[in-house]
Amino acid sequence: MHFHREKPRSLTAQTSPKPTLPMTQLPIFRVHYQDLEDYLCRVFHWDSFDFLMAAGTAAGMSSEYNVSPTVPGSHDAPRRADAIRGGRRTREVPLILTVLCADGYIPAGRYIVDTRAKTAPIEQYKQILRATGNPESEECRAFRAAHKHDRQFVQLAAAIDAQVLQVLREMRV
């Protein structure tokens, strides 16, 4: 023990105004890598894009990118950005995201690209149904409407809804 040192002051005992920490609050966006791949193919007219290979990561890992509309200051970055705009494929995910931001496709902020397996829509619907407790809730209706093109989901959701509504009717009797 060091007896010659002062004991630390309690932070709660301070009576003077607390100092302000200069910082910037960034929005955080989470996107699934398959949705990002599809989006990049639509925007840049690519046949395909393999995010996992481009990012040098494996499924189950999340990659984070700080995205701003400013192209990096290296001497050839503007040329590479223009090549991407022209449809040239690249593995430079940060530069791709910067180009998307600079061209107004996505907002600036921190992007977390999730590479875990997607949750099936029916599992997402079950979670919403557990939270609301009623298949006629606004959240359930909106989710069903958003997935009305998925025939399998529609059939499973209808069966679950019928069971839940039957239980609710029995509870009212």
pLDDT at 11: 62
State the total domains in the chain.
2
One-letter amino acid of 69: P
In a domain, 2, yes or no: no
Residues 106 and 164 in one domain: no
State residue 41's pLDDT score: 94
Residue pair 40/96 in contact by the 8 Å Cβ criterion: yes
Q: Is residue 77 part of a domain?
A: yes
Question: Residue 75's pLDDT band (boundaries 50, 70, 90)?
Answer: confident
pLDDT at 64 over 80: yes
Residues 106 and 74 sit within 8 Å (Cβ to Cβ): no
Burial class (CB in 10 A: 0-12, 13-18, 19+), 56: exposed
Task: Please count the other Cβ atoms lying within 10 Å of the Cβ belonging to residue 42.
Answer: 9
Compute the average pLDDT of residues 87-111: 94
Establish if 13 belongs to a structural domain: no
With bands split at pLDDT 50, 70 and 90, how would you rate the model's confidence at 19? Answer: confident
78 lies in the same domain as 141? no
| Percentage, residues of the chain above pLDDT 90 | 61
Per-residue pLDDT band for 172 (boundaries 50, 70, 90) equals: confident
Amino acid letter, 39 = Y
Residue 133 within any structural domain of the chain = yes
Model confidence, pTM = 0.63
Write down the pLDDT at residue 35.
95
The DSSP secondary-structure symbol of 120 reads P
Q: Are residues 33 and 58 in the same domain?
A: yes
User: Would you say the C-alpha torsion 69, 75, 79, 81 has a positive or negative sign?
Assistant: negative
Cα 169 from Cα 164, distance rounded (Å): 9
Domain that holds residue 143: 121-172
pLDDT value for 8:
66
Regarding whether 138 and 110 lie in a shared domain, the answer is no
Q: Is 113 helix (H, G, I), strand (E, B) or coil?
A: strand
CA 38/CA 50 separation, integer angstroms: 10
Q: Helices (DSSP H) in the chain: which residue ranges?
A: 33-44, 51-55, 77-85, 93-102, 121-132, 138-146, 151-172
Q: Whole-number mean pLDDT of the chain?
A: 88
